[in-house]
Amino acid sequence: MGDGLHLPAAASTLLLAAFGVLTLLPHSVVGKPVEEENAGSSALLQRVKRGWVWNQFFVLEEYTGLEPLYIGKLHSDMDKGDGSIKYILTGEGAGTTFTIDDSTGDIHAIQRLDREVKAQYVLRAQARNRLTDRPLEPESEFIVKIQDINDNEPRFLDGPYQATVPEMSKIGTSVIQLTATDADDPTYGNSARVVYSILEGQPYFSVDPKTGVVRVSLADMDRETRENYTVVIQAKDMGGQLGGLAGTTTVNITLSDVNDNPPMFDQRLYQMSVPESAPVGSVVGRIWAKDRDIGVNAEMKYSIIDGDGRDTFDISTDPTNLFGIITVKKPLNFENKPSYTLKVEGANTHLDPTFRHRGPFKDVTIVHVSVEDVDEPPLFDSPAYLIELPEDAEVGTVVKTVSARDPDAANNTVRYSIERSSDPEKFFYIEITSGALMTVRSLDREEIGWHNITVLAMEMNNPSQIASVSVAVKVSDVNDNPPSLSHYLEAVVCENAKAGQLIQTVTAVDPDEPLGGQHFYYSLAPEAANNPNFTLRDNQDNTAWILTRRGDWSQHDQTVFYLPIFISDGEQPVQTSTSTLTIRVCSCDHEGNIMSCNAEAYSLPASLSRGALIAILACIFVLLVMILLMLSLRAHRKKPYLCDEVENVHENIVRYDDEGGGEEDTEAFDIAAMWNPREAHHHLAKMRQDMLPEIESLSRYVPQACADFDPCAPPYDSLQTYAYEGEGSVAESLSSLQSGTSNTDHEYDYLNDWGPRFKKLAEMYGVLETNSPPMW
């Protein structure tokens, strides 16, 4: 028996122990000699005891020598040294990482080994006959283990790190735990034993040497003073001893906010202003109670806790929950109250019980709100008017006197008018100064039951300030319409009808709508009271029956009957009417179904010949032609005699020396036409009979005989009548008509606002303002 592993002479005893030994067991071949190998197959199949075995090999990693690293030597007892045995190596890394000398069995590593890449290799070895390549020994397996050296420094795989810790944390508060990884073998030596230390970040933070937990080491750190910190942590192997490898990482630590600061208003007194015309909900201004904290710890809630404006204004928090927004809660009026004072409180909404001793977490400020005066439009004494007027009200009836005033301190004069689009048919008129609304046309409820009028009020000194109010006029009903038959104005009586038979039921309609409902009374007209053919029965339910009074009806005797029916209503004043019902005689079957209602045919007298009829028609035609000719000549005579357009037209010089007779003169004009110009007609004008104007004309120098027979001479004398004036003008009528209906004195201040065109008129009424500037 011999050694199975030969090491170099330079190898020490320690290396022998580290690499291991190869123990070769005694070799004895059970069976026949080699010369008798072919004697029988049974001898070949006999089990042969292995002649060599080995344990595992050890080799250091990271060999940096120039020569291949010798691992060990394989040797079999059957090897006589004559080269007849060939050693074969297979398995992990065979041929690429490990090689074997097939003659000597020497094993070498031809590549650099790294335990952190692969810690061990499993190889298989076998001895074969070099000539026959028959295995001399069964294949055996062995392991080559790579022994670790400290060649890897600790690493922080997840760095750099971000950490957060609340401000004002106590000493020892854990911030974050760090873990460094060392790729060296933790089971061999101290290569993977890591110790932590802090290189940067003192005195605020510290690190546990063994666990790597970073902790707070300084009390009462304030985020509002400093928010971010950078900490450098080192991890060193070999237990931190000299020569160990080290790795570092950075931890960025942020102090999170806590509610440790109370809010405080940046102003103790806020001055704000708002126009009195600002609608409800308008923003007046905003205030801010500043808080050094951030996020939810700085969110505020504002409230008005005192002041004379707590009912007029409101305060809310904006969407950021930082600012207080003051808004208008009720309408403002400068004339009633020009300023308000508010006492406003701002308080944190999220409190931290740990820091209650730093409170109170609220603050108070004063807000002074000034109301600015605005030129407001006139204000009516009622937001709307509802008026009921009977439809028989006389023209000129005052419906309602509306009143509006200028709410400003100036209290300017107000003028009234009707918005024409609300009264297109001009049923109403409003007095410009008094606001008296009156009718100018007759009303008819059956035509228009409601009149919705818009009355405008305008300031004289500022026409742009206009207010409007709705005046609803309900036209109440008056019994002014007579009833009349509805639908059925014709009836039929059969020839076989008996006396007392119902032939028609009649009803009446009335456009009036009395409060107690309609109630009609029916009877035959007085001229038909003793009608022998028909009678009428009033059913007292607003209907009546038409009954026959006889039988034996015949179309040959009479085909049509006319029955006048008298109808009256039950309201005051009573309205009556007479309607005629046409009754035709028809032939019917025994069930009453109408068969024929043909009227009696008219035939010409037998004595009237065709020639006579033609002569009558010819006379009628000649008569019509003569009438048309006469009408044409009459129209031709009425045409004015006009000269050729190129001829000169004589000028007239007309002088009037007469004077009017004043208000008592009723002959020169029709006073009724001037009171109601819309109903005036030109043919109603009257000429004075007691005085004729003296007219001097060029015509007196013209021979009268020539002028009388000259068809081109113009009519030198003419009369023009003006029944009314001023309609359609911006100034409206300047007439004094109807001025007596007002009991108030006329005011002519508005003449100053009509511009320079009315300056002379203003001087006449003594209202001219010399210093007032024109409006345009």
What gap in Å lies between CA 414 and CA 405, rounded to an integer?
Answer: 7
Number of Cβ within a 10 Å radius of residue 660:
10
* pLDDT at res. 406: 86
* pLDDT at res. 36: 34
Of 300, 310, 413, 318, the closest CA to residue 361 belongs to 300
Farthest CA pair distance, the chain: 190
- The CA R_g of the chain, rounded to the nearest whole Å, is 65
Number of Cβ within a 10 Å radius of residue 59:
23
The DSSP bridge pattern shows strands 450-459 and 534-538 to be unpaired
Say how many Å lie between the first and final Cα of the chain, rounded: 140
* pLDDT at res. 425: 92
* pLDDT at res. 467: 92
* SS3 call for 542: coil
Of 98, 73, 75, the closest CA to residue 20 belongs to 73
> Peptide bond before 526: cis, by omega within 30 degrees of 0?
no
Which helix (H) or strand (E) segment holds residue 628: the answer is helix 610-637
* SS3 call for 661: coil
* pLDDT at res. 39: 36
> What tokens appear for 65 in the block?
């020598």
Residue type at position 334: F
| Strands annotated E in 477-524 | 484-485, 490-494, 502-509, 520-524
Which helix (H) or strand (E) segment holds residue 707: the answer is helix 704-709
The DSSP bridge pattern shows strands 269-275 and 362-372 to be parallel
* pLDDT at res. 545: 93
Of 679, 673, 674, the closest CA to residue 441 belongs to 679
Burial 240-263, CB ≥16 within 10 A → b, else e: beeebbbbbbbbebebebbbbbbb
Q: 10-residue block means of pLDDT along the chain (776 residues)? A: 34 29 30 34 41 63 81 82 87 88 87 83 89 86 82 88 94 93 80 90 93 93 93 90 88 93 93 94 94 91 94 94 94 91 94 85 95 89 92 91 86 91 93 94 90 93 90 90 81 90 89 84 89 91 91 88 90 87 90 75 48 86 91 74 46 53 53 50 43 39 47 53 53 54 61 75 65 38
pTM over 0.75: no
By the 10 Å C-beta count (0-12 exposed, 13-18 middle, 19+ buried), 541 is classed as: exposed
Instruction: Provide the sign of the torsion angle of the four alpha carbons 154, 160, 163, 167, taken in this order.
Output: positive
In the block, tokens 């045409």 appear at: 639
> What tokens appear for 344 in the block?
């406003």
Of 707, 719, 699, the closest CA to residue 641 belongs to 707
Distances (CA, A) of 247 to 201, 230, 244, 491: 17, 17, 10, 123
Q: What angle do CA 240, 242, 244 make, to 5 degrees?
A: 60
Number of Cβ within a 10 Å radius of residue 520:
20
Q: How far is CA 219 from the centre of its chain?
A: 55
Q: Are 232 and 201 in contact (CB under 8 A)?
A: yes
In the block, tokens 């009628």 appear at: 620
φ/ψ region of 122 (left if φ > 0, alpha if ψ in -120 to 50, else beta) reads: beta
* pLDDT at res. 693: 43
Q: Which pairs with CB-CB distance under 8 Å and at least 24 residues apart come from 438-444? A: 438/396, 438/397, 438/398, 438/399, 439/389, 439/393, 439/394, 439/395, 439/396, 439/397, 439/399, 440/395, 440/396, 441/395, 442/395, 443/389, 443/391, 443/392, 443/393, 443/475, 444/391, 444/475
* SS3 call for 471: strand
What is the DSSP-derived secondary structure letter of residue 158? T
Q: What angle do CA 392, 393, 398 make, to 5 degrees?
A: 165
What gap in Å lies between CA 581 and CA 579, rounded to an integer?
Answer: 7
> Which residues, 6+ apart, have CB-to-CB distance to 771 below 8 Å?
none
> Which residues, 6+ apart, have CB-to-CB distance to 328 below 8 Å?
274, 278, 279, 280, 281, 282, 284, 312, 313, 314
Instruction: Provide the sign of the torsion angle of the four alpha carbons 190, 194, 199, 204, taken in this order.
Output: negative
